[in-house]
Amino acid sequence: MSGQLGHSGAARVGIGGPVGSGKTRLLEQIIPRFIQRGTNIAVITNDLVTHEDAIRVRRSGLIAPERVLAVETGACPHSAIREDPTLNIQAADLLEERFGPLDLILIESGGDNLASSFSLDLVDFWLFVIDVAGGDDIPRKRGLGVMQCDLLVINKTDLAPYVGVDLARMEQEARQVRNGRAMLMTNCATGNGVDQIVDLIAREVLFED
Amino acid sequence: MITITHILGNARDHAISQALNHIEHDGRLETIVLDQQDTQRHRLRVNTDLGNEVAIALSRNEHLENGSVLLLESNRAIVVRLTLSQWLVFETRDIAAALELGYFAGNMHWKVRFDGVRLQVAVIGDPTGYLERLDHLIAEQKVIHVE
C-alpha cells in the first residue's frame, strides 16, 4: 500500500521582495518558460489598493488574462501572505476550480519590505527578490525574507557598475548569510539567469529532473 | 523516485504499528527526517535515510506530522520523523522589559510560547541571528538569555 492517488492540486510558489526589485518582471520571464515546458499555470498578484500588477500581467499577452487573479490586500501586505493568507488561498482554490488540474500557481506579493515572508500554509516554495540597485548592504541586514526564503534572487546585476555596487562582495555576503541555501543572480530585463530559477522550481515542486 | 500524494496513517496507529515492527526487524523501514517548518509544506522533494528520493505532493487538507506513514508494503515502509525544535529561553528584568520583549518578538514575527515568567522563541535556522536581534535588550540586562 503506498500513498499514491490522483492529482493532489497545483504546486504553489510565492514570489516576494521589496518594491521595485523586479518581481513582476521576473513573473513575465517565468510565465512563457513554464508554458513552453507544457506546465499548466495560473497567477495571483497582490497589491495594496490597486490591481496594477495583475493588469500588467494580463496585458502582457504571455498568459490568458482570466488565469491572472488580483488580491487587493488593502493594508499590510505581509498579513495576506503570512498571518492570514485566506484571501490568497481562496484565490488559488478558485483558479484550480476554474482551470484545473493546474500544475503550478505563482503568487506574487508586491509592496513588501525585507521583513516579509510567506506562510507555508499558502505556498510550498518561495522566492525572495532583491536587487542590486537597492544597495549591496541588503544581505547583511539579514531580513526575514533574505534569510528564510527557499531561493534568494539578486536581480538587476547589470546595474552594479552604475550604482557603485561590488557585485562579487554582495554575492559572497548573501551566500554567507544564507548558509548554503539556494541563491541565484539574474537580470530579468534580459532574462539572464531566469532559466535556472525555472529549473529549480520545476525540480523542487514539480519533481521534474 | 517515489511520488506520494496521500498519507496512509500514523505509526502510532495499532494496525500500522504492528506491520512496521515486522518491517523494521527486517531492516526495510526507511525514515524521512523533517523539521517542524517543513511539515507545513504540501509539496517537497526529500531523501529517505537509505538515500531513496521521495516526491511528496499532498492535497491541501493533509498535513505531515511525526509518524506519518507514506508507504507501507509487505516488506518496506517509509515513515516521517520530526527533528526536535530548538527553543531559546528568555527571562526579563521587570514587567516593562517583558512588554518590550513581547512587542519585539511580535514585531519580528517569531513563533513563541509562554512558560510561566519565561518566553520561549522557536528557532528556525541559526540561533545566533535571534540573539543578535536582541542584543540591545540583553546588553542593557533587560532581557536574560537563560538557555
User: What pLDDT score was predicted for residue A80?
Assistant: 81
Count structural domains, chain B. 2
| Residue A17 CB contacts under 8 Å (≥ 6 apart), including other chains | A23, A112, A116, A127, A128, A129, A130, A145, A153
Whether residues B62 and B96 share a domain: the answer is no
Are B57 and B6 part of one and the same domain?
A: yes
Q: Which residue has the cell 535588550?
A: B137
B56 & B111 share domain = no
**φ, ψ (nearest 5 deg) of residue B61:** -100, 10
Question: Identity (one letter) of the amino acid at B78?
Answer: I
Task: Please indicate if any CB of chain A lies within 8 Å of the CB of B7.
Answer: yes
Question: Which residues does chain A have within 8 Å of residue B43's beta carbon, measured at their own beta carbons?
Answer: 11-12, 124-125, 205
Q: Is B96 on the interface with A (CB under 8 A)?
A: no
Q: Give how far the C-alpha of residue A27 lies from the chain's centroid of Cα atoms, to the nearest Å.
A: 7
Please give the pLDDT value at position A56.
85
Query: What Cα–Cα distance (Å) separates residue B113 from each residue in A49, B24, B101, B116?
Result: 35, 36, 13, 10
pLDDT of residue B32 exceeding 90, the answer is yes
Q: What value does the mean pLDDT of chain A take?
A: 89
The ipTM estimated for the assembled molecules is 0.85
Question: According to the model, what pLDDT value does residue B147 have?
Answer: 86
Q: Looking at the structure, tell me whether residues B47 and B91 fall in a common domain.
A: no
Domain coordinates in residue numbering, chain A: 11-202
Q: Which residue has the higher pLDDT, A47 or B73?
A: B73
Q: Torsion angle of alpha carbons A207, B84, B61, B17, nearest 10°?
A: 90
Which of B4, B43, B126 is opposite residue A4, by nearest beta carbon? Answer: B4
Distance CA A73, CA A88 (A): 9
The amino acid occupying position B23 is I
Higher pLDDT, B78 or B27: B78
Known binding positions of A for GTP: 17-24
Of A23-27, B3-7, B84-88, the range with the lowest mean pLDDT is B84-88
pLDDT at res. B71: 96
pLDDT at A125: 96
Whether A6 has a pLDDT exceeding 60, the answer reads no
Residue range A149-178: mean pLDDT, rounded: 94
B66-97, pLDDT tens digit by residue? Answer: 999 999 998 899 999 999 888 999 999 999 99
Q: What is the pLDDT of residue A204?
A: 96
Distance of alpha carbon A131 from alpha carbon A149, whole angstroms = 15
* List of chain B residues whose C-beta atoms are within 8 Å of the C-beta of residue A204: 44-45
pLDDT at A175 over 60: yes
Q: What are phi and psi of B139, to 5 degrees?
A: -60, -35
- Do B76 and B107 share a structural domain? no
pLDDT for residue B43: 95
CATH number, domain A11-202: 3.40.50.300
B65 and B137 in a single domain? The answer is no
**Poorest-confidence range of A8-12, A110-114, A119-123, B38-42?**
A110-114
Q: Is A59 an interface residue toward B (CB < 8 Å)?
A: no
Does B45 contact A147 at a Cβ distance shorter than 8 Å?
no
Q: Out of A107-121, A145-159, B115-129, which region has the weakest mean confidence (pLDDT)? A: A107-121
CATH code of the domain in which B60 resides: 2.60.260.20
Count of CB pairs separated by less than 8 Å, A with B? 83
User: Which pLDDT score is estimated for A126?
Assistant: 96
User: Contact A108/A45 with Cβ under 8 angstroms?
Assistant: yes
Are B45 and B76 contained in the same domain? yes
Measured between CB atoms, which of B5, B8, B109 is closest to A82? B109
pLDDT digits (tens, 9 = 90+) for A113-148: 777 889 898 999 999 999 999 888 888 888 888 988
pLDDT digits (tens, 9 = 90+) for B46-60: 999 999 999 999 999
Q: What is the pLDDT of residues A69-112, one digit of tens each?
A: 988 877 677 778 887 888 999 999 999 999 989 999 999 997 56
- What's the confidence (pLDDT) of residue B128? 86
DSSP A187: B
A68 pLDDT band, cuts 50/70/90, is very high
The 10s digit of each residue's pLDDT in A27-45 is 999 999 999 999 999 999 9
Quote the Cα angle for A49-A142-A195, to 5°: 70
The mean pLDDT value for B39-50 works out to: 94
CB contact at 8 A, B23 and B77: yes
Domain of B137? 87-145
B125 and B74 belong to one structural domain: no
Q: Are residues B62 and B112 in the same domain?
A: no
Same domain, B102 and B76: no
Short-list A152, A76, A96, A90, CA closest to A121: A90
Give residues 150 to 179 of A whose Cβ lies within 8 Å of B. Answer: 179
| Cα pseudo-dihedral A5, A6, A7, A8, rounded to 10 | -30
CB-CB under 8 Å, B6 with A4:
yes
Which pLDDT score is estimated for A112? 61
Shared domain check, B114 and B127: yes
